[in-house]
Amino acid sequence: MKYSRLPHTTIKVSKICLGSMTWGNQNTEAEAHEQLDYAFNQGVNFIDTAELYPVPATAETQGRTSKIIGSWLKKTGYRERLVLASKIAGPGDYTAHIRSTGFCPKSIKSAVNAELERLQTDYIDVYQLHWPERQTNTFGVRDYTHNANDPWTDNFNEVLHTLDEMIRAGKIRHVGLSNEKAWGAMRYLEESKNHNLPRMKTIQNAYSLLNRVFEGDMAEVSLREGLGLLAYSPMAFGVLSGKYIEGKATPKSRLKLFPRFARYSSAQATVATQHYLELAKAYNMSLAQLSLAFVTQQPFVTSNIIGATNMQQLKENIGSINVELSAEILEKINAIHAIIPNPAP
């Protein structure tokens, strides 16, 4: 395994982070524990979850993923050897079954306390805001459209003050963002700097061969400010395994079970995936290896969040840490990207 430092800390995290959003829905508790055992034995010390999980989010399953992780932590006693990240859900219809009060102080405090109970731990290493409260272009919306009637009011300072309370209470160690944009990221960083408040250390955004939007303004923010990317969906919901265009997807595959998750399945994305698949074959590697190695090698990536629904996938995904893409391969990847840039933003 390879490791990096969580920016502005002394914490060492594995370059492969184990994602968990399928546990409790597509995966049973026993399967999740098997994945955790294997990943830990391969040197993975970084686990990411969220109060929302598993996905798709429902009132019946909400929090189940974290409970599964908590039961494994209790069984193994590995808590002090791990870095654990979680997230408070942002507001919206999708999360109305959790709460409708956004990131107000009461929401953050109750969310942290409930998550600690589910995880059976006294502290969370990295606590993240799952998506912005304000109306902006997230989750596959390509362009920003300003809404002058957005009911959100600037509460960056209040959010950081509440997170500071949680840090001082020993319930969280560090804070991060997720699905955030350059403006929001810089507002949090400036608020921290100007008012001696906790600094956002990481940002968890989508990043893959099919979605390199982060390389725009966010890459500069990341590298200049030391805001490390925790890249999610590096396999684009499994599309970048090639199993869908090769007809090898099983009935349990995510897009077979949940076809509404079509973010990475446009006609352009499919054409781009075919090109990347041919490139991977030309260099005697799997498309999964090509896709994951590409993400892991980026200078702004602190950790690459992988997920799997079976052990074969998990082993291949974690094994990608040993794949180093040459300058020649990277040049050919960029040539494809130049023809079909960001088909799944």
Q: Annotated catalytic sites, by residue?
A: 53
Residue whose C-alpha is closest to residue 71's, from 17, 119, 32? 119
Distance CA 285, CA 316 (A): 11
CA 259 from chain centre, in angstroms, equals 21
Instruction: Reduce the DSSP state of residue 43 to 3 states and report it.
Output: coil
Read off the tokens for 241. Answer: 């395994």
In DSSP notation, 54-72 reads SSS--TTTTTHHHHHHHHH
Calculate the CA 308 to chain-centre distance: 14
Secondary-structure breakdown of the chain: helix, strand, coil percentages, each rounded to the nearest 5: 40, 15, 45
CB 206 within 8 A of CB 339: no
User: 231: closest CA among 302, 287, 293?
Assistant: 302
Q: What CA–CA distance (Å, rounded) separates 290 from 280?
A: 6
Positive/negative CA dihedral, 110, 115, 121, 125: negative
